[in-house]
Amino acid sequence: MKRLEMKIFPYLMLLPMMIIFTMFLFWPALNGFWISLHNWDGLNEMTFVGIDNYTRLINDRNFVRAFQGTMLFTAITVPSIYVVSLALALMLTRKIRLSGLFRAIFYWPTMISSIIVGLSWRFLLGESFGLVNYVLVTFLGMEPVRWMTNTNMAMFTVIFVTTWSLAGYYMVMLIAGIKSISETYYEAAEIDGASFWQQFFHITLPLLRPMSLLVLVLSTVTVVRSFPLILALTGGGPAGHTRFMVQQIHETGFSRLQMGSASAMAVVLFVVLAILTAVQFRLNRGGGQDAT
Interface positions with other proteins (CB under 8 A): 1-2, 5, 8-9, 12, 15-16, 19-20, 23, 41-44, 62, 122, 126-129, 146, 148-149, 151, 232-235, 237-241, 251, 254-257
Q: Please say which residue, 15 or 279, places its beta carbon nearer to other proteins.
A: 15
Least distance (Å) between residue 71 CB and other proteins: 18
Beta carbon nearer to other proteins, 62 or 222: 62
**Rounded least distance, CB 259 to other proteins, Å:** 10
Strand 38-39 to 47-48 pairing: antiparallel
Smallest distance from the beta carbon of 130 to other proteins, in angstroms?
A: 9
Which of 171, 183, 155, 36 has its CA nearest to residue 99? 171
Which among 273, 257, 243 is positioned nearest to 69, based on CA atoms? 243
Residue 260's contacts (CB-CB under 8 Å, 6 or more residues apart) are 35, 36, 37, 38, 39, 40, 46, 49, 53
Shortest Å distance, C-beta 235 to other proteins: 3
**Which residue's CB is nearer to other proteins, number 47 or number 180?**
47
| Spatial distance between the Cα atoms of 91 and 106, rounded to a whole number of angstroms | 12
3-state secondary structure of 48: strand
Start-to-end CA span in the chain (Å): 50
Closest CB to other proteins among residues 132, 221: 132
Let me know how long the chain is. 292
Strand partners, 47: 39
Closest approach, Cβ 265 to other proteins, in A, equals 15
Q: Whose Cβ is closer to other proteins: residue 61's or residue 97's?
A: 61
Q: With respect to other proteins, which residue has the nearer C-beta, 108 or 254?
A: 254
**Nearest distance in Å: CB 204, other proteins:** 41
What is the smallest separation between the CB atom of 219 and other proteins, expressed in angstroms? 25
Q: Which lies closer to other proteins via its Cβ, residue 1 or residue 191?
A: 1
Q: Which residues of 15-49 are buried (b: 16+ CB within 10 A; e: fewer)?
A: eeeeeeeeeeeeeeeeebeebbbbbbeeeeeeeeb
| Residue 202: other Cβ atoms inside 10 A | 15
